[in-house]
Amino acid sequence: IRDSTILVTGGAGFIGSHLVDALAPRNEVRVLDNFTTGDRAHLPDDVTVVEGDVGDPIALQKAARGVDVIFHHAALVSVSQSVDEPRQSNRTNLEASLLVLEQARQEDARVVVASSAAVYGHPDELPVPETASTNPASPYGVQKLALDQYTRLYEELYGLETVALRYFNAYGPRQQGPYSGVISTFLEQARANEPITIEGDGQQSRDFVHVSDIVRANLRAATTDAVGEAYNVGTGQRTSIRELAETIRDATDSSSTIAHCEPRAGDIRHSGADTSKAARDLGFEARVGLESGIRSL
Ligand code: UD2
């Protein structure tokens, strides 16, 4: 995508800021972020920053005026926070997202939204295709599923060009903070030569996808003809948490021990993407394998 005017909501966050880096050289990029978890230091100089909440219609309107494409990455990403405070996460993840879709309608802009593997809950098929049943296991998952369905409906009802990307377990540089995911936690523990803490037996598995691949999926979604659809964004490979702990310990030459603690309540046992739809309709396939992705960190 080039020579376009683009809004990235949550553009100072983990995934958003990498997307901004990829877009900024060839496009006019605007970022809407409230900087509660986002970081200004991650933004290139030549983007326009609107500091504000995605749920604030005035800020959103200002940021979205005249755009061709909106990448919607602003969200409260903590699953456990959504369990503790479902209404608060609903306001950001669903109500504000609906505001983004309405704004896109007004601008007739394409919208690419960040959905999640959380829409599947405990998947009943592996690898899980987009057609699998959706029974989210958290308010976060319910909110992402509703957003995902709204994007489909906005295409159907209003002819808006929409795409939902269902991310599996994202990792990469700039993933930080209390809700940052198992890879950044294990890396921190390994670097400090402290015990690597596996929750449960470590046989649970995930599909870890590098943020550079997530960015590439977004760029494909910006130009695909196959709109009104949701796509899995993963590698198609599952890795157990035990294997992950060992890979990280080896990659960092750490003397950490590997410890087991209580399993997480309600943990998903296995998660892995069927990547064939994204390959067929977006021409997207992940390129970064887990070991090289971890080594690059
Ligand atoms: C991921 C997403 C979440 C949501 C969800 C959908 C991240 C960071 N979160 O949650 O947003 O989409 O998938 O199902 O990508 N673990 C340990 N030790 C630790 C930390 C974690 O053993 O110190 C285990 C944990 O119990 C789980 C696995 O690692 O079995 C992955 O945990 P996570 O929090 O990185 O990601 P997940 O899959 O729960």
Task: Residue 111: count other Cβ atoms within 10 Å of its Cβ.
Answer: 30
CA of 267 relative to ligand 1 center, distance in Å: 8
DSSP structural state of residue 264: P
Mean pLDDT of 99-113: 98
> Are 75 and 92 contacting, i.e. CB atoms less than 8 angstroms apart?
yes
User: For residues 226 and 254, what is the distance between their CA atoms, to the nearest angstrom?
Assistant: 46
Complex ipTM more than 0.95, yes or no: yes
For 171-206+237-272+288-295, CATH gives: 3.90.25.10
Q: What is the pLDDT of residues 229-265, one digit of tens each?
A: 999 999 999 999 999 999 999 999 999 999 999 999 9
Strands (DSSP E) along 106-179, which ranges? 110-116, 162-167, 169-171
E strand intervals along 168-233 = 169-171, 196-199, 205-206, 208-210, 229-233
Atom index in ligand 1 nearest the CA of residue 189 equals 23
DSSP secondary structure of 8-39? EETTTSHHHHHHHHHHTTTSEEEEEE--SS--
The answer to whether residues 68 and 87 touch, using CB atoms and an 8 Å cutoff, is no
User: What is the model's pTM?
Assistant: 0.98
Please check whether residue 55 is in contact with residue 35, taking contact to mean a CB–CB distance below 8 angstroms.
Answer: no
Where b means 16+ CB within 10 Å and e means fewer, 260-282 reads: eeeeeeeebebbbbbbebbeebb
Ligand 1 centre to CA of 182 (Å) is 6
Confidence of residue 178 (pLDDT cuts 50, 70, 90): confident
The answer to whether residue 176 scores a pLDDT higher than 90 is no
- Split at pLDDT 50, 70, 90, the class of 59 is very high
Check if 169 has its Cβ closer than 6 Å to any atom of ligand 1. yes
Q: How far is the CA of 227 from the centre of ligand 1 (A)?
A: 29
| Closest atom, ligand 1, to C-alpha of 180 | 8
Determine the distance separating the centroid of ligand 1 and the alpha carbon of 63, expressed in angstroms: 32
Average pLDDT, the chain: 97
Active site residues: 140
Average pLDDT over residues 265-278: 97
> 79 CB under 6 A from ligand 1?
yes
Q: What is the CA radius of gyration of the chain?
A: 18
pLDDT digits (tens, 9 = 90+) for 8-43: 999 999 999 999 999 999 999 999 999 999 999 999
Does the structure show a pLDDT above 90 at 226?
Answer: yes
Residue 250 Cβ contacting ligand 1 at under 6 Å: no
DSSP strands (E only) in the chain: 5-9, 28-33, 48-51, 69-72, 110-116, 162-167, 169-171, 196-199, 205-206, 208-210, 229-233, 239-240, 258-261
Lowest mean pLDDT among 47-51, 119-123, 152-156, 174-178: 174-178
Residues of the chain within CATH 3.40.50.720 domain(s) are 5-170+210-234+274-281
The answer, yes or no, to whether residue 172 has pLDDT greater than 90, is: yes
Q: Is the CB of 218 within 6 Å of ligand 1?
A: no
Question: Looking at residue 293, what is its pLDDT?
Answer: 97
Residue 189 Cβ contacting ligand 1 at under 6 Å: no
Q: What is the DSSP letter of 192?
A: T
Cα 264 to middle of ligand 1, angstroms? 9
Kindly report, as residue ranges, where domains of CATH 3.90.25.10 are found in the chain.
Answer: 171-206+237-272+288-295
Query: Does ligand 1 have an atom closer than 6 angstroms to the CB of 211?
Result: no
Q: Is the CB of 90 under 6 A from ligand 1?
A: no
Average pLDDT over residues 164-177: 96
Minimal-distance CA residue to ligand 1 atom 5:
118
Q: Which CATH architecture has domain 5-170+210-234+274-281?
A: 3-Layer(aba) Sandwich (3.40)
Percent of the chain with pLDDT over 90: 98
How many whole angstroms separate alpha carbon 50 and alpha carbon 57? 12
Read off the DSSP letter of residue 252: T
